């Protein structure tokens, strides 16, 4: 029993001794920020001496802040937050992060009350915005409060210390909302007022490319935006502004137009350099050959850069002597260096007309000597169209045989059906026109015109004997002297309407008709039986009738017909005797 009392008395003395060794008021420091010294470090934590009976261990991660390297070393004095007097290992539970946060909150509250700016570092992205380290306190930066304009690439803003404005604080919830845009707008408002007071056309300013569109770029001049149109970026041709500019780029621009009413500013970069077109007349002349680079190809031609800021147009018609109706992209390509000739210069309209084919030998100029008019040659049928044949004259040139020049006897439609692509045929050169780049050829001209002699003997108004070769509803197809084609319309078959019928005639029958028209191009005659009857009637009246003879028309015509019959009979008898 005495032994137990002695033991209890010893434990009470030890506990009393421990209380005496505990610093006075140590219980009051829980939840407070105190200073301590780093006495040792390993890879993961630092041991901190805060002047109490035991030390505390703090993770090194708490000393690392966004955008800053860890510089902690043994002997450094640091602030820590006392969470508990001891843990399971007998160490005081300390936090450097909470100490920083506590100190930061106090500083931020003072800044918020006095409407002062605070410095922070954007270190993360969250839904709807970003996280900002305000020297230990974590704040929320809404995406709309990052800048005055939408930012696609946040990378340049990350890990960089910059000022912020506190919009809202709630310590009980630990919420802080900050804005970067507010500070920018304030700065822009001041800069805008100063810029508007001093702005004038011709002034050179420095700005930042804010946005790029198909037609130009918007440049932030410091509180005021100006439009830099694509045509004012360079004296040379630019297809898209992104070829020379990028968002965020700082550039020098000149104010070329300013509307004070709308406060719209037009900017230019090329105006900072001399206009190359002012010296065009001294650099280039008509007929000059030079080399240039193809910058753009269109349906109607290609643009060629001759010098910095100087472009000329090669029209599609000036690209090749032989390739017609071909897209320019099939003859040349973009970025290709080519030789051109200056055809025309108009500095006032800033135009230079160029030609490519003029730098090559014109094959058409050689045709007149190689294939003179009247010469004959054999060529391949390269193409067949509805109006004729295209015949190879050389490797690059084609001549044309019009369908009307294929045959003397067949119709053009019938004649062209006799030929196939790839056939070798003999042709005769009818015409050569190098200026119009045209060669006319013929096939029927290789032989004499079979109708030429027959047409020479016949004239309009003659009465001729025809052989009926065909009967249609429209009239009769006939042949004169067995070769010359002719046609008698239904209305010309008789003077009497009741006799104007094609069924009165038969193929092979001979009829007499009057020549009413000669078409020497188609080699066809228009004939009329009706015209012949009227002609014979007039002759009979003139020969056998008179005003005072008292004879009737029937008597007169009867006598005339008897006379004609008698003449025909006499002619037949004479022919029989000759035989």
The conformational region for residue 531 under phi > 0 = left, psi -120 to 50 = alpha, else beta, is: alpha
Where is mean pLDDT largest: 271-285, 413-427, 552-566?
413-427
Asked if the structure places residue 572 within a domain, the reply is: no
What does each C-alpha distance from 336 to 300, 302, 353 come to in angstroms?
A: 18, 11, 18
Looking at the fold, whether 255 and 203 belong to one and the same domain comes out as yes
pLDDT of residue 579: 47
Model confidence band, residue 77 (pLDDT cutoffs 50, 70, 90): confident
- Whether the pLDDT of residue 223 is over 90: the answer is no
pLDDT of residue 6: 45
pLDDT of residue 505: 93
pLDDT of residue 308: 83
pLDDT of residue 530: 92
Which residues lie across from 77 on neighbouring strands? Answer: 37
Mean pLDDT of the residues in the chain: 81
Asked if the structure places residue 137 within a domain, the reply is: yes
Model confidence band, residue 567 (pLDDT cutoffs 50, 70, 90): low
Which residues lie across from 315 on neighbouring strands? Answer: 301
Model confidence band, residue 106 (pLDDT cutoffs 50, 70, 90): confident
Write the DSSP symbol of residue 199: -
Looking at the fold, whether 36 and 96 belong to one and the same domain comes out as yes
Looking at the fold, whether 125 and 175 belong to one and the same domain comes out as yes
Looking at the fold, whether 427 and 468 belong to one and the same domain comes out as no
pLDDT of residue 448: 85
Contacts of residue 191, Cβ cutoff 8 Å, sequence gap at least 6: 222, 223, 224
- Whether the pLDDT of residue 21 is over 50: the answer is no
pLDDT of residue 304: 93
Q: How far apart are CA 458 and CA 96, in angstroms?
A: 127
Read off the pLDDT of each residue in 123-150 and give the average, rounded to a whole number: 87
Model confidence band, residue 92 (pLDDT cutoffs 50, 70, 90): confident
pLDDT of residue 87: 65
509 vs 92 pLDDT, higher one: 509
Looking at the fold, whether 57 and 145 belong to one and the same domain comes out as no
Contacts of residue 289, Cβ cutoff 8 Å, sequence gap at least 6: 339, 340, 341, 342, 359
Mean pLDDT is lowest, of 189-198, 219-228, 395-404, 553-562, for 553-562
- Whether the pLDDT of residue 2 is over 50: the answer is no
Find the largest Cα–Cα distance for the chain.
198
The domain containing residue 376 runs over which residues? 363-446
Concatenated DSSP letters for 390-413? EEESSSS-EEEEEGGGS-SSS-HH
Q: How far apart are CA 486 and CA 464, in angstroms?
A: 11
pLDDT of residue 529: 92
**Residue where a domain terminates, one of 344, 359, 374:** 359
Asked if the structure places residue 353 within a domain, the reply is: yes
- Whether the pLDDT of residue 565 is over 80: the answer is no
Asked if the structure places residue 372 within a domain, the reply is: yes
pLDDT of residue 19: 38
What distance lies between CA 499 and its chain's CA centroid?
71
Looking at the fold, whether 103 and 119 belong to one and the same domain comes out as no
- Whether the pLDDT of residue 10 is over 70: the answer is no
Looking at the fold, whether 296 and 254 belong to one and the same domain comes out as no
Q: What is the tens place of the pLDDT at every residue in 498-525?
A: 889 999 999 999 999 999 998 877 778 8
**Residue where a domain terminates, one of 65, 93, 114:** 114
Structure tokens at 436: 């119009």
CA angle 360, 364, 365 (to 5 degrees): 85
Asked if the structure places residue 575 within a domain, the reply is: no
**Residue where a domain terminates, one of 402, 422, 446:** 446
Read off the pLDDT of each residue in 388-411 and give the average, rounded to a whole number: 88
Q: Residues of the chain with pLDDT > 70: what percent?
A: 85
Q: How far apart are CA 264 and CA 433, in angstroms?
A: 59
Q: What is the tens place of the pLDDT at every residue in 229-280?
A: 998 998 887 889 998 899 888 999 998 988 877 778 899 998 888 888 888 8
What does each C-alpha distance from 410 to 57, 194, 227, 406 come to in angstroms?
A: 115, 91, 72, 8
Looking at the fold, whether 253 and 287 belong to one and the same domain comes out as no
Looking at the fold, whether 259 and 240 belong to one and the same domain comes out as yes
CATH code for position 286:
2.40.50.140
Write the DSSP symbol of residue 142: E
Mean pLDDT is lowest, of 19-23, 137-141, 290-294, 421-425, for 19-23
Cα Rg of the chain (Å, integer): 55
Looking at the fold, whether 317 and 237 belong to one and the same domain comes out as no
Asked if the structure places residue 5 within a domain, the reply is: no
Looking at the fold, whether 109 and 119 belong to one and the same domain comes out as no
pLDDT of residue 5: 37
**What is the reported pTM?**
0.44
Structure tokens at 157: 């803003």
Q: Quote the number of domains for the chain.
A: 6
pLDDT of residue 368: 77
Asked if the structure places residue 191 within a domain, the reply is: no
pLDDT of residue 554: 55
Q: How far apart are CA 136 and CA 167, in angstroms?
A: 18
Q: What is the tens place of the pLDDT at every residue in 116-127?
A: 889 999 999 999
Q: How far apart are CA 313 and CA 330, in angstroms?
A: 17
Write the DSSP symbol of residue 200: -
Contacts of residue 260, Cβ cutoff 8 Å, sequence gap at least 6: none
- Looking only at the bridges linking them, the beta strands covering 398-402 and 388-392 are antiparallel
Q: What is the tens place of the pLDDT at every residue in 318-336?
A: 998 877 778 999 999 998 9
CA angle 457, 459, 464 (to 5 degrees): 80
Looking at the fold, whether 460 and 552 belong to one and the same domain comes out as yes
Contacts of residue 253, Cβ cutoff 8 Å, sequence gap at least 6: 204, 205, 206, 207, 219, 221, 226, 228, 267, 268, 269, 272
């Amino acid at each position: 029993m005495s032994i137990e009392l002695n033991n209890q008395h010893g434990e009470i003395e030890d506990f009393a001794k421990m209380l005496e060794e505990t610093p006075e008021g140590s219980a009051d420091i829980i939840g407070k920020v105190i200073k301590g010294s780093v006495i040792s470090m390993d890879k993961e934590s630092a041991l901190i001496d805060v002047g109490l009976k035991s030390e505390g261990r703090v993770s090194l991660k708490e000393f690392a802040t966004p955008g800053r390297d860890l510089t902690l070393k043994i002997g450094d004095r640091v602030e820590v937050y006392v969470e508990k007097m001891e843990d399971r290992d007998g160490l005081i539970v300390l936090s450097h992060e909470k100490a920083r946060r506590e100190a930061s909150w106090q500083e931020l509250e003072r800044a918020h009350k006095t409407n002062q700016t605070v410095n922070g570092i954007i270190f993360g992205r969250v839904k709807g915005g970003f996280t900002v380290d305000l020297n230990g306190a974590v704040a929320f930066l809404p995406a709309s409060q990052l800048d005055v304009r939408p930012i696609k690439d946040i990378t340049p803003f990350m890990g960089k210390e910059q000022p912020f404005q506190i919009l809202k604080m709630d310590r009980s919830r630990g919420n802080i909302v900050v804005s970067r845009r507010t500070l920018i707008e304030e700065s822009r408002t001041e800069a805008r007022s100063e810029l508007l007071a001093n702005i004038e056309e011709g002034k050179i300013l420095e700005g930042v490319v804010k946005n790029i569109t198909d037609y130009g770029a918007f440049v932030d001049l410091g509180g005021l935006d100006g439009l830099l149109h694509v045509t004012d970026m360079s004296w040379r041709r630019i297809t898209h502004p992104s070829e020379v500019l990028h968002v965020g780029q700082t550039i020098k621009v000149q104010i070329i137009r300013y509307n004070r009413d709308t406060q719209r500013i037009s900017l230019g970069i090329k105006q900072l350099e001399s206009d190359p077109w002012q010296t065009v007349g001294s650099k280039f002349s008509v007929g000059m050959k030079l080399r240039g680079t193809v910058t753009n190809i269109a349906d109607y031609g290609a643009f060629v850069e001759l010098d910095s800021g100087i472009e000329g147009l090669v029209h599609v018609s000036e690209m090749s002597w032989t390739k017609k109706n071909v897209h320019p992209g099939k003859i040349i390509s973009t970025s290709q260096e080519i030789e051109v000739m200056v055809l025309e210069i108009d500095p006032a309209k800033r135009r230079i007309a160029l030609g490519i084919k003029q730098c090559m030998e014109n094959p058409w100029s050689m045709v007149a000597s190689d294939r003179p008019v009247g010469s004959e040659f054999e060529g391949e049928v390269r193409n067949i169209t509805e109006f004729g044949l295209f015949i190879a004259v050389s490797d690059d040139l084609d001549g044309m045989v019009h369908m009307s020049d294929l045959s003397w006897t067949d119709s053009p439609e019938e004649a062209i059906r006799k030929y196939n692509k790839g056939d070798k045929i003999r042709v005769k050169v009818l015409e050569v026109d190098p200026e119009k780049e045209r060669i006319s050829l013929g096939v029927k001209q290789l032989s004499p015109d079979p109708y030429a002699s027959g047409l020479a003997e016949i004239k309009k108004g003659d009465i001729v004997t025809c052989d009926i070769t065909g009967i249609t509803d429209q009239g009769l197809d006939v042949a004169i002297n067995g070769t010359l084609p002719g046609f008698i319309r239904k209305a010309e078959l008789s003077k009497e309407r009741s006799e104007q019928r094609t069924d009165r005639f038969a193929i092979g029958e001979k009829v007499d008709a009057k020549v009413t028209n000669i078409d020497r191009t188609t080699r066809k005659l228009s004939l009329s039986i009706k015209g012949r009857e009227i002609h014979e009637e007039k002759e009979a009246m003139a020969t056998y009738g008179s005003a005072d003879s008292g004879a009737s028309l029937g008597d007169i015509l009867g006598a005339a017909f008897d006379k004609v019959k008698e003449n025909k009979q006499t002619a037949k008898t004479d022919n029989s005797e000759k035989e």
